[in-house]
Amino acid sequence: MVHLGTNILFAGNNFVRLLEGLWTTVWIAICALIIGLILGTGLGILRTSKNRPVRILLRLYLEFFRIVPSVVLLFLFYYILPRQLNLNLPAEQMAVLAFALWVAAEFSDIVRGALISVPQHQKESGLALGLNGWQLFRYVLLPQALVLELPATINLATRVVKTTSLLMLISVMDVINIGQQIIEANRQTYPNGIFWIYGIIFLFYFIVDYPLSLWARRLAAKQH
Amino acid sequence: MRKKVFFRKLFLGVVASLGLIFLLAGCGNSSSSSNNQSSVSAIKKRGVLRVAVFGDLKPYGWVNQDGKRVGYDVTLARQLAKDLNVKVKFTQVNANNRVDALNSNKVDLVLANFTVTSDRKKVVDFAEPYMKVSVGVVSPKESRISDVAQLKGKTVIVSKGTTAETYFTEKQKDVNLLKFDSKTQQFNALKNKRGVALADDNSYLYAWVKNHPDYSVGIKTLGPSSAIAPAVKKGNSSLLNWTNKDIKKLRQNGFFEKAYNSDLKPYFSSEVNSADILINK
């Protein structure tokens, strides 16, 4: 065999391990997004409420998750909270929890923005028809807001996928972590392995994220 | 107003679901915090010994191409679990979060090439050491440096932040140092003859020389050697005492010699022998 750098990708189970790492990455991102989007919708609607304390509380929640860097957030959830509150979860679940709360915070702002930009006459027409609060949101505001918030939501989703690369800091076996194992295991025999491994990881992230960003662009174009 | 009622309901709903998330999270492991979750009896009851290891430090803690954790540290971890009659579960850590992993009860034991230092002793409890390292000096075979006196007035290559840098700066003041940021840079500098020798942890040099037969670790130990030992959470005397006892037993029955031969020897140059690494008391 030629001593090619590509050999490192297919030696033993290396490629399958990288795919497993990618699956961990994608799975955590999907779980966090599902929980975060549901919670975020609720929070976003509440942020349009007339109740001042509620609005301030939710604003604080949003700013906290927006300002605190994701790395700090992950450390907080994985190392510091368990010590204080004595709740000890596997790293993957902690990651989903931290990311879900982050997504909820960011999404609440997207939802709020979308709800506000639904034209006022739509809301008034709904009220004139005798719809109650729930019906007004369910049949008038949310369907129109959904269209408005989609591009920003997909953008958020791609950011979540990218941010999972920080998970290696809390011992989650994501694709980057496994890539590094392979690089270090072969450092002496394949000094250029780092190039191939990070190359394939780049490709993985691209395959996951690019369709999302294409979709976002198409949706954005449709609105104009 | 109907709309106001809706908002109130929604608010309660969101608060309730947030509470539920935390409650579910709390149920995972809500035993009282005063209990030692890593005592020997707790480990036996759980049936699993949780160990923090490196995943990228060959040949001490790494992952082979079949995805299996191997290495000298890992072999010791498996043996300890076997002696406790429990299964082993590995958590991969990096150098920065070895202490956090213990303190937040993520693992019972750290076996991640943890060098004993006085600062670290303040935050964790170290058991009996299972390995030792010190500064070593590697040089080309044709102009081999075997004594530190040969280095006077010459240039020695080191990496910033290593024990080797500290040792030469403090103890060998008449040696010129050429400092680099990474391992790759420092070894390239040695190959390009930018210095007469290179100083680093001897355990690391032994592995490098294996693949570079033109070089030799002429000085194997320089200055004080440091011990590498398992660490437990501060105050976990139950597991600490058990580990100490078990390591002494393993020293006597030749386990470390065997582990050296299977995990380290294949990756070290032939000029190294087990006495350079192992602790035989």
- Return the residue in B56, B110, B211 with the most chain A beta carbons within 10 A, the one to mutate for interface testing: B56
Question: Considering only alpha carbons, which residue of chain B is nearest residue A20?
Answer: B67
Q: State the nearest Cα–Cα gap between B5 and chain A, in angstroms.
A: 8
Rounded to 10 degrees, the C-alpha dihedral B95/B96/B97/B102 comes to 70
- Cβ of A136 within 8 Å of Cβ of B64? The answer is no
Q: Return the CATH number of the domain spanning residue range B134-225.
A: 3.40.190.10
Question: Considering only alpha carbons, which residue of chain A is nearest residue B96?
Answer: A169
Q: What is the mean pLDDT of residues A70-89?
A: 83
Judged by a CB distance cut-off of 8 A, whether residue B210 touches chain A is: yes
In the predicted model, is pLDDT for residue B25 greater than 80? no
Residues B170 and B242: beta-carbon distance below 8 Å:
no
Q: What is the mean pLDDT of residues B33-47?
A: 83
In the predicted model, is pLDDT for residue A36 greater than 80? yes
The pLDDT value given to residue A148: 86
Model confidence at B31, pLDDT cuts 50, 70, 90, reads very low
In chain B, which residues have their Cβ closer than 8 Å to the Cβ of A78?
104, 106
CATH topology of domain B40-130+229-276: D-Maltodextrin-Binding Protein; domain 2 (3.40.190)
**How far apart (Å, rounded) are the C-alpha atoms in residues A150 and A110?**
9
Question: Considering only alpha carbons, which residue of chain B is nearest residue A190?
Answer: B211
Question: DSSP per residue over chain B, as a string?
Answer: -HHHHHHHHHHHHHHHHHHHHHHHHHHTT-S-TTS-TTSHHHHHHHTEEEEEE-SEETTTEEE-TTS-EESHHHHHHHHHHHHHTSEEEEEE--GGGHHHHHHTTS-SEE-S--B--HHHHTTEEE-S--EEEEEEEEEEGGG---SGGGGTTSEEEEETTSHHHHHHHHH-TTSEEEEESSHHHHHHHHHTTSSSEEEEEHHHHHHHHHT-TTEEEEEEEEEEEEEE--EEETT-HHHHHHHHHHHHHHHHTTHHHHHIIIIIGGGS-TT--GGGT----
Residues B11 and A54: beta-carbon distance below 8 Å:
yes
Closest CA to A67 of A97, A42, A16, A102: A102
Among A19-28, B179-188, B217-226, which stretch is predicted with the lowest mean pLDDT? B179-188
- Return the residue in B92, B96, B123, B269 with the most chain A beta carbons within 10 A, the one to mutate for interface testing: B92
Tell me if domain B40-130+229-276 and domain B134-225 are identical in fold.
yes
Among A83-97, A159-173, A192-206, which stretch is predicted with the lowest mean pLDDT? A83-97
Question: What is the CA A69 to chain-centroid distance, rounded?
Answer: 14
Q: State the nearest Cα–Cα gap between A210 and chain B, in angstroms.
A: 29
Q: What is the mean pLDDT of residues B230-258?
A: 94
In the predicted model, is pLDDT for residue B210 greater than 50? yes
Judged by a CB distance cut-off of 8 A, whether residue B12 touches chain A is: no
Judged by a CB distance cut-off of 8 A, whether residue A56 touches chain B is: no
In the predicted model, is pLDDT for residue B29 greater than 90? no
Share of chain A above pLDDT 70, in %: 97
- Cβ of A80 within 8 Å of Cβ of B58? The answer is no
In chain B, which residues have their Cβ closer than 8 Å to the Cβ of A53?
none
What is the residue extent of each domain of chain A? 7-223
**How far apart (Å, rounded) are the C-alpha atoms in residues B259 and B51?**
18
What is the residue extent of each domain of chain B? 40-130+229-276, 134-225
Residues B202 and B276: beta-carbon distance below 8 Å:
yes
- Name every residue whose Cβ is closer than 8 Å to that of residue B206 and which is 6 or more positions away in sequence: B136, B217, B267, B268, B269, B272, B276
Model confidence at A1, pLDDT cuts 50, 70, 90, reads very low
In chain B, which residues have their Cβ closer than 8 Å to the Cβ of A124?
none
In chain A, which residues have their Cβ closer than 8 Å to the Cβ of B31?
86
SS3 A13: coil
Residues B224 and B132: beta-carbon distance below 8 Å:
no
- Return the residue in B8, B9, B10 with the most chain A beta carbons within 10 A, the one to mutate for interface testing: B10
Share of chain B above pLDDT 70, in %: 93
Complex confidence, ipTM: 0.80
Per-window interface: A 160-179 vs B, CB < 8 A: 169-171, 173, 177-178
- Name every residue whose Cβ is closer than 8 Å to that of residue B130 and which is 6 or more positions away in sequence: B76, B228, B229, B230, B247, B256, B278, B279
Per-window interface: A 79-108 vs B, CB < 8 A: 79-80, 82-83, 85-89, 91, 93, 97, 100
Q: What is the mean pLDDT of residues B58-69?
A: 91
- Cβ of A87 within 8 Å of Cβ of B6? The answer is no
Among A41-45, B3-7, B236-240, which stretch is predicted with the lowest mean pLDDT? B3-7
Judged by a CB distance cut-off of 8 A, whether residue B258 touches chain A is: no
Picking from B6, B66, B67, the nearest residue to A132 by CB comes out as B6
**How far apart (Å, rounded) are the C-alpha atoms in residues A10 and A6?**
7
Pick the CATH number of A7-223 from 3.30.420.40, 3.40.50.300, 1.10.3720.10, 3.90.1520.10: 1.10.3720.10
